Amino acid sequence: MPAAAPDFRQRFLAFALARDVLRFGDFVTKAGRRTPYFFNAGLFNDGASLATLGRFYAEALMAAGVPFDMLFGPAYKGITLAASTAIALAQNGHNVPFSFNRKEAKDHGEGGDIVGAPLAGRVVIVDDVITDGGAKREAIERVRAAGATPVAIMIAFDRKERGRGALSAVQEITRDFGVPVVAIATLDDLRRFIDTDAALAAHAPAIDGYRAQYGVQ
């Protein structure tokens, strides 16, 4: 009997590794922590990568089973991510509108700070990662101010790492706003991923140590 194909989380991590988005070594995070791995979604920076990334977002969103009516991409990184996810969903028979915001409201032409479809119904916010959670809080409040309902936040990777307190920024968002965060892959998926390759498995002790020091449940 043939082996089962890797699920989308494992395929996504293999894709990120091949694009040098996922790296192993000795790095320092924005918070000043030394980390044995680094994930930089900004390196999905060509057409083919963005198209593939959109398909992974769409697959993860459908797998999450969250009912939704449209996508919203917070400026700036969320703009291309929401658009590529909307395209991937449409190619799989789920055509939904999307919109994004300007950093500054436009006072001429169509005006306002929202571009694309009006924010309405059940909205999924699409972005790359959550660090301190500030940008996602703004996005949630923007969606609600428009009279729509944020039903999920989609991100590429969840480090499952504590912020300043006992919780991660992801957990704080869910606690404070009641909005679930859906990641294509998490640190738990990464840990399983490296066990499939002898060379990558050499990084396991360092990752386990880092998780023991900074991780959340």
pLDDT digits (tens, 9 = 90+) for 121-147: 999 999 999 887 788 999 999 999 999
Hey, where are the domains in the chain?
A: 8-214
Distance CA 161, CA 168 (A): 5
Catalytic site includes residue 103:
no
Question: Of 30, 108, 136, 203, which is the active-site residue?
Answer: 108
How high is the pLDDT of residue 106?
56
How high is the pLDDT of residue 163?
82
Catalytic site includes residue 106:
yes
Distance CA 119, CA 187 (A): 32
Q: At CA 206, angle to CA 205 and CA 209, rounded to 5? A: 85
How high is the pLDDT of residue 19?
97
1 pLDDT above the threshold of 70? no
Question: Of 77, 103, 106, 203, which is the active-site residue?
Answer: 106
User: What's the Cα-to-Cα distance from 20 to each of 14, 37, 45, 49, 101, rounded to whole Å?
Assistant: 10, 11, 11, 11, 29
Task: Read off the pLDDT of residues 149-207 as tens digits, 9 standing for 90 and up.
Answer: 999 999 999 999 998 789 998 999 999 999 999 999 999 999 999 999 999 999 999 99
At the topology level of CATH, where does 8-214 sit? Rossmann fold (3.40.50)
| Phi, psi for 190 (deg, rounded to 5) | -60, -40
How high is the pLDDT of residue 210?
95
107 pLDDT above the threshold of 60? no
Distance CA 212, CA 160 (A): 11
